[in-house]
């Protein structure tokens, strides 16, 4: 299996973990302030990974630490908007599909900001994905409600995070304004993830301290709440983002992250099972378009794998 195929397989697993994490988060914010929940979730996850990554963390250069903190700062702002959308929103499925617009924006952002070449299949897949997202989440038209605005804002900032995270996890050559060639050393997935998650926790903690009351959540925690926080921190945050960062480190190209567009499909299905949310015929059609966009985007790797499988069947 090539590194690109490994990356795709791991990102597919990430979409499932992420979808389950939406349920953890939704249950938790029913019991405590949303920004404080995010702070506790990400600080705990970052602390757990920092213990494991203590040695590689101590070997990071000042430039690697600076770039990691930059990724975390952008991600922290995105997560602030995301959790506020989840807090104010009535439909997890709709929120997930709006947020996944960030995945669609990634190739465009990588091309505009970093001149990163994208395969033609990506540009074909993007309008298909957008059409699917429109059917899924905007069945009544776009309404400037707080939840939708929060989710769309998070999507644009997440696109920047995905691009920065991929570049931080891969060694690359850049040319500065004076025409000098500089080698940017890759940041190993484990220390990068621990620094990013800790930074997100600090950003959301700062926002929470200014905007939310803490007394009840700090001094009257329930067993159920602690369970949701631990599940979110260990499974939905530390595990999920470590796997995602490692997967992104296997490929220097950002277009592979489009596979994360599967996440809202799983969120909608899990929300239907857990919270009783339903999907209309238009939304199901949107799911079909999402899968079509994914196949178009990864058609080269998909067709190659299919030809290899057929060839092996003939020779066996």
pLDDT digits (tens, 9 = 90+) for 166-198: 888 876 555 555 655 556 678 998 999 999 999
pLDDT tier for residue 255 given thresholds of 50, 70 and 90: low
CA atoms within 13 A of residue 193's CA, in its CB half-sphere: 25
Query: For residue 308, what pLDDT is reported?
Result: 65
Q: What is the pLDDT of residues 224-238, one digit of tens each?
A: 888 999 999 999 999
**C-alpha 13, offset from chain centre:** 12
Nearest to 230 by CA among 19, 23, 41, 30: 41
Q: ∠ at Cα 182 (180, 247), nearest 5°?
A: 150
Please provide the DSSP assignment of 154-188 as one string.
Answer: HHHHHHHHHHHHHHHTS-EEEE-TTS-EEEE----
**C-beta of residue 254 within 8 angstroms of C-beta of residue 7:** no
Distance CA 290, CA 295 (A): 9
Residue 200 has pLDDT above 90, yes or no: yes
Residue 143 has pLDDT above 60, yes or no: no
CA distances from 128 to 67, 80, 100, 108 (A): 34, 29, 13, 15
Q: What is the pLDDT of residues 22-40, one digit of tens each?
A: 999 999 998 889 999 999 9
120 or 301: whose pLDDT is higher?
120
The length of the chain in residues reads 316
Angle (deg, nearest 10), helices 189-211 and 146-168: 150
41-78: burial string, b at 16+ Cβ within 10 Å, e else: bbbbbbebbbeebeeebeebeeebeebbbebbbbbbbb
Where on the phi/psi map is residue 183: left (φ > 0), alpha (ψ -120 to 50), or beta?
Answer: beta
Residue 190 phi/psi, 5-degree rounding, is -65, -55
Distance CA 202, CA 50 (A): 15
Q: What is the pLDDT of residues 67-89, one digit of tens each?
A: 999 999 999 999 999 999 999 98
Residue 149 has pLDDT above 50, yes or no: yes
Query: For residue 48, what pLDDT is reported?
Result: 93
| Residue 81 structure tokens | 């908007």
Residue 53 has pLDDT above 80, yes or no: yes
Query: For residue 219, what pLDDT is reported?
Result: 47
pLDDT tier for residue 6 given thresholds of 50, 70 and 90: confident
Averaged pLDDT of the chain? 82
Please provide the DSSP assignment of 216-262 as one string.
Answer: HHHHS--HHHHHHHHHIIIIIIIIHHHHHHHHHHT-S-GGGGGGGGG
Range of the domain at 138: 3-315
Domain count, the chain: 1
Query: For residue 310, what pLDDT is reported?
Result: 67
Distance CA 4, CA 24 (A): 30
Query: For residue 222, what pLDDT is reported?
Result: 72
Cβ–Cβ contacts within 10 Å for residue 281, how many? 9
């Amino acid at each position: 299996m090539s590194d690109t195929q490994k990356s795709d397989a791991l990102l597919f697993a990430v979409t499932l973990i992420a979808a389950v994490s939406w349920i953890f988060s939704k249950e938790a914010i029913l019991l405590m302030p949303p920004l404080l929940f995010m702070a506790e979730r990400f600080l705990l996850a970052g602390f757990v990974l920092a213990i494991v990554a203590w040695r590689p963390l101590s070997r990071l250069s000042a430039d690697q630490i600076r770039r990691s903190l930059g990724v975390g700062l952008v991600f922290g702002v995105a997560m602030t908007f995301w959790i506020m959308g989840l807090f104010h929103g009535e439909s997890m499925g709709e929120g997930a599909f709006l947020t996944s617009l960030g995945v669609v924006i990634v190739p465009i952002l990588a091309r505009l900001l970093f001149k990163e070449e994208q395969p033609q299949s990506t540009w074909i897949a993007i309008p298909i994905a957008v059409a699917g997202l429109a059917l899924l989440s905007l069945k009544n038209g776009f309404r400037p409600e707080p939840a939708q605005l929060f989710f769309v804002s998070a999507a644009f900032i997440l696109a920047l995070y995905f691009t920065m995270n991929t570049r931080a996890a891969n060694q690359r050559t850049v040319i500065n304004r004076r025409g000098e060639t500089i080698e940017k050393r890759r940041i190993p997935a484990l220390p990068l993830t621990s620094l990013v998650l800790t930074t997100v926790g600090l950003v959301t903690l700062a926002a929470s301290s200014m905007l939310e009351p803490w007394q009840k959540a700090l001094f009257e925690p329930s067993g159920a709440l602690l369970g949701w926080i631990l599940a979110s921190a260990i499974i939905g945050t530390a595990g999920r983002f470590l796997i995602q960062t490692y997967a992104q480190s296997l490929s220097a190209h950002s277009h592979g992250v489009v596979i994360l567009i599967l996440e809202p499909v799983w969120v909608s299905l899990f929300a239907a099972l857990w919270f009783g949310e339903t999907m209309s015929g238009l939304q199901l059609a949107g799911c079909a378009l999402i899968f079509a966009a994914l196949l178009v985007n990864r058609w080269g790797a998909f067709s190659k794998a299919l030809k290899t499988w057929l060839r092996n069947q003939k020779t066996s």
